[in-house]
Structure 1
Amino acid sequence: MHSNDGLGSGMGSDGDVDVLAALVADAEGAADVVRAGQIREVRVLAAAGVLAEKQAAGASEKVKAREMALRGIAAELAGVFVTTDRTLQRRIDEARDLVENYPVTMAAWEAGRIVRGHVRVIQEVGCLVPVADRAEFERVAVERCEGERPNRVLEALRMIAERMHPRTFTERHEEAAAGRCVRVQPSSDGMSDLIATLPTVIADGIVDRLTRQAREIINARAQADAASAGAGAGGDAAASTDAGRADALFNPDAAGADGMVDPTHGDVSSFVDDARTIDQVRADVFSDLLLAGTPTLDPTATGDGNGTLGAIRAHVQVAVSALTLMGQDDGPADLAGRSPIDAATARELAGNATSWDRLLTHPVTGTVLECDSYRPTSAMIRLLRARDRHCRFPGCRQPAIRCELDHTIAASDGGVTHVCNLANLCKRHHDVKHHTRWQVRQLPGGRLVWTSPTGRIYREDAPPPLVVFTLTVPPDPADDEKSPSRSGPPSRSPGGPGTPPGAAPPF
């Protein structure tokens, strides 16, 4: 046999075809032997299950006795099949179910009409069918399986089983939908699987939307790359337009009032070093939508405005060492209740957090000995604004409301987040404290003692309050009895007409 297309050697000679025919015949024989072995194994395992049932027949606690008997038999057979006794016990149960509840399937398998893969599919789907209708289901299923691959008949058999079910699919779906949930399954290397059990149409819709959004980003990235290449080689206006379209995906301001992209606004920085696969982009879009998106259906919304759901943001609890936080090592951080997370993520979370707590732990046992918040509470902020009233650097009068709260002793040096270690400093003098040789100590009562680089001392007392309320000793009732009259004009407080009773005059 010759060929003129240059592929003759690959087509094989007549002798090669004869060898292949012999291989096919051997394969058919091997398949028959394998099928016979599989059927024999199933019947042996089913007989083992019957034996366990027989051994437990006369026991008072039949269920427990059967379980113990089954464990003993499974352990014996596990040595023969070179597997675990747990696996063998499961296979015994499956084999007994197949032999006793699917006789039509077993007969078709023994006759060579179907293969092991078909048997698994029929047994998997057949559990949905009532016992009274199972024989009819088997008959239809076997006919459907003949001449077809097992992976192609699964959906068809499911539809057949659904039609035979005594309860409507709608009823069963509503019951199953009541169990919808979201759960996290921790994995290794700081990763986890987020699993959502949802109605199929919702799950399919989610994946479809994520896929289309991911493809749009990847397509825009390709346009941006082409635009950059065109610009580098003296590109034209079309390349600039492509860059503008790409930028619009990440920068809505690039589009005009009519929604069209302004080609002069081409900024492709969003795609720099973006080599993500479609799976990675899909996962990133999924995360962004869940963490920052607003639900379409918000029962807290009213006709006058948005609800509260969109304003809710995710909260996580992370424990990270001070050395890792400062970048001196890359040890993992601990995400409470989950697996470790990488150092870079922990630093990013700490930098963006509105508040975080410092933990002092035992160096050996790791037990938490002390805890304080790095960022002051709202109550602390109000108290310190009332106490300081302005920047506490010598001579500065910047209002406290426009100042920053500073740890007199830095938190990294062990300073606590407490009013005795906090003071208001304006941005300018906050930087002076941290980046020059000026030093400060805080004494009780909020008094600051500043030391200049040349050694001069400046004492900054907390501004005196405008009004101070003092406790007065209550009058003795005996004095009232001695008083000739309790009538007359009310007494003035010593602070003058505008001072509340019981208040001292302003300093």
Structure 2
Amino acid sequence: MSSPAETPGSDAFTASLAGLAHGMAGLAQDSAAVQIREMRLLAAAAALAEKTAAGSPARVREQDMVLRSISAELGAIMRVADRTMQRRIDEARTIVEDYPTVLEAWEAGRIVRGHVLAIVAAGSVLPPDLRGQFADAAIPKCERDTPNRVRPALEMLAQHLHPRSFSERHEEASAGRCVRIVPGGDGMSELIARMPTAIAEGIHDRLTRMGRAVIDTRGERAAAAGLGVGCDDDDASRAEIVATDARTMDQVRADLFADLLLAGTPALDDTKDTSAGPLGKIRARIQVVIPAHSLAGDDHDACDLVGRSPIDPATARVLAAGNTQWERLVTHPVTGAVLAVDSYRVPEKMRRYLQARDQHCRFPGCRQAAVRCEIDHNHDRALGGKTDCGNLCHLCQRHHSMKQFTCWRVRQLTGGVLEWTSPLGRIYREDAPTPAVAFTPADTRSTEAAPF
């Protein structure tokens, strides 16, 4: 328990936190230097194996044997398995040889290890001769954001640079969709389904929303089932089951998944009617950003399933065609900033505008999709803050609560830019996300207008 002098906001607390922050900053620099040195040593090990086997008639086999031997030696020193060390050597060689500019940016402190790994992972779909071009475009993106936040943008960039269209590759991958079971211990197994991302995300979203409805209405459903005087035995038994339900969200999701597949209706749906029951009415919801040229029929680039990964343009167009509440984004032709939003129906114009602008939680590093966030008055409404787009942004529940109950503060600048101030007075600038539609003069793709 802290003393009164060390309570949040006190000089003693601030001084202690400042010391921790200073120490962590120094540790980050030292750690990066050690990691980069290790990376170069491991890449040198790969080069040694290749050089040693260069004159051998069975060059490939000889190189593999030498690499195994080196991996075993270095693994013993580091106390890790030789297979683990060999994977590290392969990763290091890829970074040093295919992404030299990325390594230089890491050494200069412009990016961190997480950025490097995100670039390598996203670039793995590209042929080696395109990785340098990809790295040059990826580094500036990484300098502006955290590894977690920038990962989707890197994936979209890699898909754009790929010589084959995303739709063509997705069609091939979709042929491998399947469901398989992996037996586990204690009478448990894992049921794994490989399917298109949009479908998988929709399934998970619906299970989550149904699960939230089950958890949030336990008390109401127990009372409605007849808990108390005058109810029959079946109602009383059902009410007791509902009232004592202490399952976690993961457990509820798993139970709903089994109910829907085996019986077609959730076990705790009061009406027992798949189509009319309160849980049965819940439908999946996903957030997709569709570039105008993809909406018009261009299949080369991927579309962005916000918070997850790219999806194919054909699926995105089907989702757009079946949705009655999607809208056109009008953007500035130079800056790309969102200027206006329109739609066929506008149920919550300001909220939908903010969803288009923010795309995700606006706390630095958070990627929670805007559709799952809360709208925050940056300057509190109770203190005179206006309900205006220049005073509103999306924050997930975690960061909304943190802004409310800790010393973190935020103010919104022009263009949707947020300026966060930490308890130590450090400033963290959170730029508005890249708009869903941008105009680039060098783009040679179809400029045919989308059928709005």
Q: RMSD value over aligned CA atoms? A: 2.9
* Separation in structure 1 between the aligned mates of residue 217 and residue 15 of structure 2, nearest angstrom: 55
> Following TM superposition, by how much is the alpha carbon of 1:52 offset from its aligned partner in structure 2, in angstroms?
0.6
Partner of 1:316: none
Distance change in 2, residues 1:272/1:231 (3 Å):
closer
Distance change in 2, residues 1:202/1:62 (3 Å):
same
Partner of 1:291: 262
- 1:128-167 matched pairs, under 5 angstroms: 128-167=125-164
CA contact (8 A) 1:125 1:157 kept: yes
The match for 2:40 among 40, 43, 48 is 43
One-letter amino acid of the counterpart of residue 278, structure 1:
M
* Separation in structure 2 between the aligned mates of residue 23 and residue 216 of structure 1, nearest angstrom: 42
> Following TM superposition, by how much is the alpha carbon of 1:14 offset from its aligned partner in structure 2, in angstroms?
4.6
Deviations 1:58-108 (A, max 9, x none): 222111111110111011111221111110011001101110000110010
Q: Secondary structure at the match of 2:55?
A: coil
* Separation in structure 1 between the aligned mates of residue 186 and residue 146 of structure 2, nearest angstrom: 39
The match for 1:209 among 206, 213, 224 is 206
Partner of 2:64: 67
> Following TM superposition, by how much is the alpha carbon of 1:271 offset from its aligned partner in structure 2, in angstroms?
4.5
CA contact (8 A) 2:183 2:189 kept: yes
* Separation in structure 2 between the aligned mates of residue 186 and residue 124 of structure 1, nearest angstrom: 30
Q: Secondary structure at the match of 1:184?
A: strand
Deviations 1:454-494 (A, max 9, x none): xxxxxxxxxxxxxxxxxxxxxxxxxxxxxxxxxxxxxxxxx
The match for 1:192 among 189, 193, 200 is 189
TM-score (norm 2): 0.52
Q: How many residues align?
A: 260
Distance change in 2, residues 1:28/1:224 (3 Å):
closer
Deviations 1:381-425 (A, max 9, x none): xxxxxxxxxxxxxxxxxxxxxxxxxxxxxxxxxxxxxxxxxxxxx
> Following TM superposition, by how much is the alpha carbon of 1:129 offset from its aligned partner in structure 2, in angstroms?
2.8
Q: Secondary structure at the match of 2:7?
A: helix
Deviations 1:322-349 (A, max 9, x none): xxxxxxxxxxxxxxxxxxxxxxxxxxxx
Distance change in 2, residues 1:49/1:271 (3 Å):
farther
Partner of 1:419: none
* Separation in structure 2 between the aligned mates of residue 116 and residue 44 of structure 1, nearest angstrom: 16
> Following TM superposition, by how much is the alpha carbon of 1:146 offset from its aligned partner in structure 2, in angstroms?
1.2
One-letter amino acid of the counterpart of residue 135, structure 2:
E
Distance change in 2, residues 1:16/1:181 (3 Å):
closer
Deviations 1:13-41 (A, max 9, x none): 55664554444333322221111100000
CA contact (8 A) 1:221 1:271 kept: no
* Separation in structure 2 between the aligned mates of residue 219 and residue 29 of structure 1, nearest angstrom: 45
* Separation in structure 2 between the aligned mates of residue 227 and residue 170 of structure 1, nearest angstrom: 50
Instruction: Select the structure of larger CA radius of gyration.
Output: 1
* Separation in structure 2 between the aligned mates of residue 227 and residue 287 of structure 1, nearest angstrom: 25
Q: Secondary structure at the match of 1:155?
A: helix
CA contact (8 A) 2:105 2:111 kept: yes
Q: Secondary structure at the match of 1:24?
A: helix
* Separation in structure 1 between the aligned mates of residue 253 and residue 68 of structure 2, nearest angstrom: 46
* Separation in structure 2 between the aligned mates of residue 101 and residue 195 of structure 1, nearest angstrom: 34
TM-score (norm 1): 0.47
What runs of 5+ residues in structure 2 fail to find an aligned partner? 266-452
- 1:98-109 matched pairs, under 5 angstroms: 98-109=95-106
* Separation in structure 1 between the aligned mates of residue 11 and residue 216 of structure 2, nearest angstrom: 51
Which structure is higher in RCO with an 8 Å CA cutoff and minimum separation 6? Answer: 2
* Separation in structure 1 between the aligned mates of residue 77 and residue 114 of structure 2, nearest angstrom: 24
* Separation in structure 1 between the aligned mates of residue 197 and residue 175 of structure 2, nearest angstrom: 13
Partner of 2:240: 272
Partner of 1:30: 27
The match for 1:120 among 117, 129, 137 is 117
